[in-house]
């Protein structure tokens, strides 16, 4: 099994940290992982994207142009990456701020209203965890227990009290993800 994912959105949406949590979860279930960010000036407030690969085998190229899954969180990223999802792959997106919805019919498109749901929970910081939950529902590759383990390992001790909140957000995402293609 090899899962190649692109997560793309605005800086500040938690794109990179969501990728990191995914990668950590992969390690927790004894898989090989890589996390390759776009870096540079665009880190500071512009668009941000990260390629995450989870595999049972040694990861070859950490740089890809085609992905099994695209997680797309703003319009610029939709324009840039809709075409990069492999035929038969998954495109998961948040409709907030999207003016042109995905048009492809050879992939499975899912929607998660992460921005709205996290705002309703009163904490927009857990936006990326809602998205992560939606992804985990669509592609059950990393298990919730391993995500929690990964969080415990990657977060400083003082933030461990926030783990239940993150878990709630993941569950919320799992519950609310909607399939848009037939």
Partner 1 sequence: MGELKLMKGNEALAEAAIRAGADAYFGYPITPQSEVIEYLMSEKPYERTGMVVLQAESEVAAINMIYGAAGAGKRVITSSSSPGISLKQEGISYISGAELPCVYANVVRGGPGLGTIQPSQADYFQSVKGGGHGDYKQIVLAPASVQEMSDFVKLGFELAFKYRIAVLILSDGVIGQMMEKVELFDQMPRLTDEEIYEKFPWATTGKKKGTERRIITSLDLDSHKMEEHNHHLQRKYKTIMENEVRSEAIHCDDAEYIFVAYGSSARIAQKAVDMARAKGIKAGLIRLITLFPFPEKQLQAFCKQGVKGFLAVEMSAGQMVEDVRLSVAGCAKVQHYGRFGGIIHSPEEVLRAMEQQIIGG
Looking at residue 51, the DSSP 8-state letter turns out to be E
> Is residue 37 close enough to count as binding partner 1 by CB under 8 A?
yes
DSSP 3-state of 158: helix
Choosing from 12, 46, 61, 97, the residue that interacts with partner 1 (CB under 8 A) is 61
The stretch near partner 1 (CB under 8 A) out of 18-26, 94-102, 108-116, 158-166 is: 18-26
Judged by CB under 8 A, how many residues of this single chain contact partner 1? 22
CA distances to 23, 48, 143, 146 from 167, in Å: 17, 24, 12, 11
Choosing from 64, 144, 162, 163, the residue that interacts with partner 1 (CB under 8 A) is 64
The stretch near partner 1 (CB under 8 A) out of 57-65, 72-80, 107-115, 118-126 is: 57-65
Q: Rank residues 101 and 153 by Cβ distance to partner 1 and give the closer one.
A: 153
d(CA 176, CA 95): 13
Q: Are strands 32-37 and 2-10 parallel, antiparallel or unpaired?
A: unpaired
> Phi first, then psi: what are they for 34, rounded to 5°?
-145, 150
Residues in 119-178 that interact with partner 1 by CB under 8 A: 154
Choosing from 10, 27, 95, 98, the residue that interacts with partner 1 (CB under 8 A) is 27
d(CA 111, CA 131): 9
């Amino acid at each position: 099994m090899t899962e190649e994912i692109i997560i793309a959105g605005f800086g500040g949406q938690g794109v990179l940290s969501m990728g990191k949590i995914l990668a950590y979860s992969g390690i927790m279930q004894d898989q090989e992982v890589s996390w390759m960010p776009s870096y540079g000036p665009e880190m500071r407030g512009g668009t941000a994207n990260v390629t995450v690969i989870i595999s049972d085998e040694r990861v070859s190229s950490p740089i890809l142009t085609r992905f099994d899954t695209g997680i797309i969180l703003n319009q610029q990223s939709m324009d840039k990456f809709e075409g990069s999802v492999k035929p038969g792959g998954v495109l998961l997106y948040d409709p907030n701020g999207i003016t042109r919805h995905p048009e492809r019919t050879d992939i499975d498109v899912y929607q998660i209203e992460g921005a709205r749901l996290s705002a309703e929970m009163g904490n927009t910081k857990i936006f990326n965890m809602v998205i992560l939950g939606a992804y985990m529902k669509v592609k059950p590759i990393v298990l919730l227990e391993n995500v929690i383990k990964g969080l415990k390992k990657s977060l400083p001790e003082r933030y461990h009290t926030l783990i239940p909140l993150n878990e709630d957000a993941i569950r919320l995402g799992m519950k609310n993800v909607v399939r848009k293609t037939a």
